[in-house]
Amino acid sequence: MPKSFDLQIFVEDTSGRTDLNTLAVQVQDKNEPPVFQGNMAIQTVEIYILEGSRTPPGFIYQVEAADPEDAQLQYSLAPASVPFSVFESGAIFSEREFDYEKDPHSYFLNITVTDPEGLRSTKTVNINIINTNDERPYFITKQRIYKIPEEQSPGTVVANITAKDPDDEEEFPSRLFYSIQSSEEYFSINPSSGVVQVARRINREALTLHPNISVIVRVEDSPSGGQASEMEITIVIEDINDNLPECKPSTFREEINENTTAGTLLLDLRNFCKDSDVDPPNNLINFTGLSGLGSNKFALDSMSGRLVMTESIDLENPTNLGAEVFSLTVRVQDIAWPNYSNIIYIYIRIRPVNEYFPVFGSLLYEFNVSEITKAGSSIGKVNAKDKDWPPSVITYSIVAGGGTKDYTNIFWINPTEGDVKILARLDYETTQRFLLTVQASDQEKTATVSVTVNVLEVNDEEPVCSPNFYSFQIPVSLAVGTNINGFRIVCQDRDSDPRSFRYFINEGNVNNHFTFSPSAGSNTSRLILASRFDYDSGFDTHWIYRLRVYITDDNLLSARDKTTDLIKTGTVTLSIRVIPNPTTVITTTPGFTLVTRRENLYSESAWYVPFVVTLGSLLLLGLLGYAVLLLARSLRARCPPARKAGDAPL
């Protein structure tokens, strides 16, 4: 509050007279004791701290107090023996860590605050130490080795393990939890009582040479995350006679070649069979009772367990057909009582041996195929077998032959069926015969056979004429029978006789003014004017003729053969312009396009063709020369001498 007050005093009497004066009031200070604030002002403060390292020495609480005169205060605590201190700021600090099991569980601190004139106030702070799980339980049981016979029923008690927890409080003892940490599953432990029991059947022989089972028992004071201790106990398993002889595997599959000799060892059962009992005679065994399909071909020694062949097996022998697998059974038996036994199964597969070469069904194959047969067509089939059993898979291939200069491989054979096919069209004029070498293989052995493919000639070549195009002009007054411009065509056909050509104009021969002579039977023919032009009467109206000439190779065929045989046709195109009443002879230069077909080539076997052509040409030249000589003599004898210049022409 303010330290002084100035009061204005106003006075007035009944007659209305007044007066005003100031009254000064001074407030004098009096020292009062300090006052606690916050929770300590209204109650005893309870503070809880955890024991151990979770609460390290340091600040734990802040005391708040104030002096009415706003003086500097001093803090102190009692008793002085407690492990706490208070700073000038009123902060309470712990001086060490606390152990619930050794130290007092609570501390009462008297906190006194004093002002400069000695007035003080005191409040109590109660500090409680909280118990934490910081101590490991320990085992009380001292025994470490226990003995039980094997084959005990589940639930049989082996040991009773007990432990104690130092963190236990008298009013609230802690609960301990027991478990087994080792990986074996023969034993279990009651998690609450610590009783160790047999969990499942224990087979002493399965433990080999180590009948002692080590079990790690763990005790914890919390289901998870608490303190724990472990103890190892050893349980000795005592042996009893309780096992059957065993073979691993119990089923055997063996393979032997069909020509394996008698006396060959197939299987030594002693290496796979045993009795797992620890001590003799419980672990001694023998082998008896060899039986099953084909058991008479094998012998078994009862003590050693050695299985041997008594005779060789040939699968190709008719008496052994189907005997590719023998199914045998053998009894393996414990010598000691109660003579436990087991049955083992033996399957012996006779592995075929490739003993024979493939053999073709024919010593030589010959196929005839037309030269116009389509690519991809089948032309024949080869077949091979061998005497091996079971039958071998035969694979076919062409290893030689069957090529031309244009195609490396013109034939293909189906590798599994032996079907021979052509990959390209054949040409009789190029090759008349192919010699193939076909191989049959059973993956190990091979055999070969010769295959002859005869190409049959077919009329598949078109006549080729030269020139195949010609363009010229003729006068309208050209005489009938004239060889027009001396034009002739020369034709050839690689698979036809020169006499087989036939010539006819198929298109453009309006009013049939043109013809060829000869019309058939020769490889040359001339273009002849067959009838005169008549434009004056209107009979002819075309001045340009485009003739399409057909040359066929069927002249030597009968009418019946023409309906069945293959006929080829060549073409020649002629363009003829008719010139009305020419006054000047127009020299025409023949133009033509030469088309060369290289589908077929000359065959050396037709040696007589050039010979006949050459001989005929010489005879023809001789006759023509003689005819020219006779014509010259006739003209000289009958024609008068030429007239002088200016005379009328002849």
Instruction: Indicate whether this model's pTM tops 0.85.
Output: no
Structure tokens at 354: 């490739």
What pLDDT score was predicted for residue 607?
61
The residue ranges of DSSP E strands in 428-568, in sequence order, are 433-441, 446-456, 464-466, 469-475, 483-492, 502-507, 514-517, 524-529, 544-552
Structure tokens at 138: 């320990």
What pLDDT score was predicted for residue 592?
41
Rounded Cα distance between 225 and 469, Å, is: 111
CA 260 to chain centre: 41
The most confident of 291-295, 492-496, 512-516, 584-588, by mean pLDDT: 512-516
pLDDT tens digits along 584-642:
444 444 444 333 343 344 445 556 677 788 889 999 999 999 999 999 888 888 765 55
Pick the more confident residue, 323 or 102: 102
Q: Give the β-pairing of 464-466 and 483-492.
A: antiparallel
Q: Give the β-pairing of 341-351 and 251-257.
A: parallel
What pLDDT score was predicted for residue 599?
39
Rounded Cα distance between 206 and 35, Å, is: 83
User: Is residue 495 scored above 50 in pLDDT?
Assistant: yes
> Which residue has tokens 């075929």?
352
pLDDT tens digits along 134-173:
778 889 999 999 999 888 999 999 999 999 888 776 656 6
What pLDDT score was predicted for residue 172?
61
CA 644 to chain centre: 105
User: Which value, in Å, is the radius of gyration of the alpha carbons in the chain?
Assistant: 66
What is the SS3 assignment for 512?
helix
What pLDDT score was predicted for residue 342?
92
Residue among 614, 610, 634 at smallest CA distance from 622: 614
pLDDT tens digits along 424-456:
888 888 888 999 999 999 988 999 999 999 998
What number of other Cβ atoms are within 10 A of residue 76's Cβ? Answer: 14
Helix (H) or strand (E) holding 627: helix 608-638
What pLDDT score was predicted for residue 343?
94
What number of other Cβ atoms are within 10 A of residue 521's Cβ? Answer: 15
What pLDDT score was predicted for residue 648?
53
The letter for the amino acid at 151 is E
> Which residue has tokens 């712990």?
94
Structure tokens at 38: 């916050």
User: Is residue 563 scored above 90 in pLDDT?
Assistant: no
**Mean pLDDT score across all residues of the chain:** 85
Lowest mean pLDDT among 166-175, 318-327, 461-470: 166-175
Rounded Cα distance between 212 and 146, Å, is: 10
Query: Is residue 6 very low, low, confident or very high in pLDDT (cuts 50, 70, 90)?
Result: very high
The answer to whether residues 440 and 360 touch, using CB atoms and an 8 Å cutoff, is yes
DSSP structure string for 290-301:
EEETTGGGEEE-
If you average pLDDT over residues 567-594, what whole number do you get? 69
CA 457 to chain centre: 52
The answer to whether residues 466 and 490 touch, using CB atoms and an 8 Å cutoff, is yes
What number of other Cβ atoms are within 10 A of residue 198's Cβ? Answer: 19
Structure tokens at 106: 């609570």
pLDDT tens digits along 15-36:
989 999 999 999 988 888 999 9
Q: What angle do CA 620, 624, 630 make, to 5 degrees?
A: 145
Helix (H) or strand (E) holding 636: helix 608-638
Residue among 351, 378, 135 at smallest CA distance from 256: 351
Query: Is residue 284 very low, low, confident or very high in pLDDT (cuts 50, 70, 90)?
Result: confident
Rounded Cα distance between 342 and 244, Å, is: 7
Burial of 475 (0-12, 13-18, 19+ CB in 10 A): middle
User: Is residue 41 scored above 80 in pLDDT?
Assistant: yes
* Cβ-count burial 338-368 (b if 16+ within 10 Å, e if not): eebebebebebebebeebebbebeeeebebe
The backbone torsions φ and ψ at residue 617, rounded to the nearest 5 degrees and listed phi first, read -65, -45
User: Is residue 54 scored above 90 in pLDDT?
Assistant: no
Rounded Cα distance between 341 and 600, Å, is: 86
Query: Is residue 419 very low, low, confident or very high in pLDDT (cuts 50, 70, 90)?
Result: very high
